[in-house]
Amino acid sequence: MGDTSSNQMWGGRFAAGPDAIMEAINASIGFDKRMAAQDIAGSRAHAAMLAATGILSDSDAAAIREGLLTVLSEIEAGKFTFSTALEDIHMNVEARLKTLIGDAAGRLHTARSRNDQVATDFRLWVRDQIDAAIEGLQALIRALLAQAEAGADWVMPGFTHLQTAQPVTWGHHMMAYVEMFARDLSRLRDARARMNECPLGAAALAGTSFPINRDMTAQALGFDRPAANSLDAVSDRDFALEFLSAASICAMHLSRFAEELVIWSSAQFRFVTLSDRFSTGSSIMPQKKNPDAAELIRAKVGRIFGANVALMMVMKGLPLAYSKDMQEDKEQVFDAADNLMLALAAMEGMVKDMTANRSNLAAAAGSGFSTATDLADWLVRVAGIPFRDAHHVTGTLVAMAEAQGCDLPDLTLAQMQSVHAGITDDVFGVLGVENSVASRMSYGGTAPAQVRAQVARWKEVLG
Ligand code: ARG
């Protein structure tokens, strides 16, 4: 509802209050109240600094700092009445502070603007989310390591083009995701290190004539240093974009894994059984157990990457410094962060609870001529023929087996020798999947010993 009187915070030059539609499009309190704790932390640091530099009296600063704690406890207790007329979290907090402590509240906004205030609040909020995402990723990586360790030598088919390629181990497959999520971890840490500069004190855009101490506020809020250019400090949202971009890549990884779980849990594959705790039923088909959590994780990348694109579009045409367009930064980031945390937690839960169906994995590992490459490699090693020729000989044997409806190890030695005379009985040793995976001892290969070495390395890295 529009108020007929002008705004108490900035209405000095206004004769009338805003139209109701103006108020509706202008207000951000509906969503930026999520930054209340960060806003109050920023204001408390600012007040302490104003007192330390003699800009504010100690008694005013003490009243402000104390009053802000009261406001925070009211908000946390759900007793705070947010007002749309007061636009945003910054003015809602300050107005309430004025009711609580009187005129001293009006001194808090000395040497600052909502522009550096919101940039600081939002940075603090995003930093908290980065920390939470790092924790979520670490928990997921630990769950994957436990799966990899248990199944370091369980054989399964490895695919390219989703066609059987070569046998791999379950542990190796799990560890592939450990690599991906560890890169996500490192991207988030990079982003955190780069974003950890404090905008507070940049004021509206040009800095301030008051003798403030920006190092003091930066330090109080856990920043490494104050941001070095006031124009950039109030107009930069790279930190949010870096978070969204790291979140997008992480969500893409989660989605790929989710897709595999959907395939693997189908009746046609039966590679894994997802727990009841992370599955749902169908209201019409009694036999159904659906991988809904995996499907929803797969879908989350859409909205998270959408947020990344949306904020890029908001920012791309903005001249320096602050423009109100930038108020549109928050909802996208809030939504992306909420959904990333949920997806990470759901994936961790699914990975912890899922059961690999070892015998199905092993049976599938041996089908589809998965050891054809081992046969070709054997021909190179033992019969001494060039790989291209070995490839051709093996291809002929695959066609022969396919025509007979059997697998490669089911061909007789005589049949094999009819294609290449140099083949001996020893060849059957390399056609077994266990031998196949054990032989892939190159660094980063699928051999159980390599997988165990990688599990040990990551356990040490994670601490
Ligand atoms: N609610 C605003 C935002 O989210 C706060 C900054 C307002 N600054 C201004 N110059 N009107 O961006």
3-state secondary structure 44-91: HHHHHHHHHCCCCCHHHHHHHHHHHHHHHHHHHCCCCCCCHHHCCHHH
Q: For 442, left (φ over 0), alpha (ψ -120 to 50), or beta?
A: beta
Q: How far apart are CA 247 and CA 191, in angstroms?
A: 11
Q: How far apart are CA 113 and CA 207, in angstroms?
A: 10
Q: How far apart are CA 89 and CA 50, in angstroms?
A: 21
CA of 306 to the centre of ligand 1 (A): 23
Q: How far apart are CA 327 and CA 457, in angstroms?
A: 44
Q: What pLDDT does residue 14 have? A: 85
Q: How far is CA 193 from the centre of its chain?
A: 16
Q: How far apart are CA 39 and CA 86, in angstroms?
A: 15
Residue located nearest, by CA, to atom 11 of ligand 1: 324
* Residues 6 or more apart in contact with residue 275 via CB below 8 angstroms: 350, 353, 354, 355
Q: What pLDDT does residue 367 have? A: 85
Q: How far apart are CA 410 and CA 436, in angstroms?
A: 16
Q: How far apart are CA 297 and CA 114, in angstroms?
A: 37
Nearest ligand 1 atom to the CA of 87 is 1
Q: What pLDDT does residue 4 have? A: 60
Q: What pLDDT does residue 281 have? A: 82
Residues of the chain with pLDDT under 70: 1-4
Residue located nearest, by CA, to atom 2 of ligand 1: 327
Q: What share of the chain is helix, strand, coil (3-state, %, to 5)?
A: 65, 5, 30
| Tokens, residue 384 | 């001494």
CA of 324 to the centre of ligand 1 (A): 6
Residue of 88, 113, 117 with the most ligand 1 atoms within 8 Å of its CB, for mutation: 88
CA of 114 to the centre of ligand 1 (A): 6
* Residues 6 or more apart in contact with residue 322 via CB below 8 angstroms: 115, 204, 205, 234, 235
Q: Residues enclosing ligand 1, CB less than 6 A?
A: 28, 32, 88, 114-115, 118, 322, 324, 326-327
Q: How far apart are CA 70 and CA 443, in angstroms?
A: 59
- Indicate the burial class of 354 (C-beta count within 10 angstroms; 0-12, 13-18, 19 or more): buried
CA of 58 to the centre of ligand 1 (A): 29
Write out the catalytic residue numbers: 161, 282
Q: What pLDDT does residue 279 have? A: 83
Q: What pLDDT does residue 404 have? A: 94
**How many other C-beta atoms are found inside a 10 Å radius of the C-beta of residue 381?**
11
Alpha-carbon dihedral sign for residues 368, 373, 376, 378 = negative
Q: What pLDDT does residue 122 have? A: 98
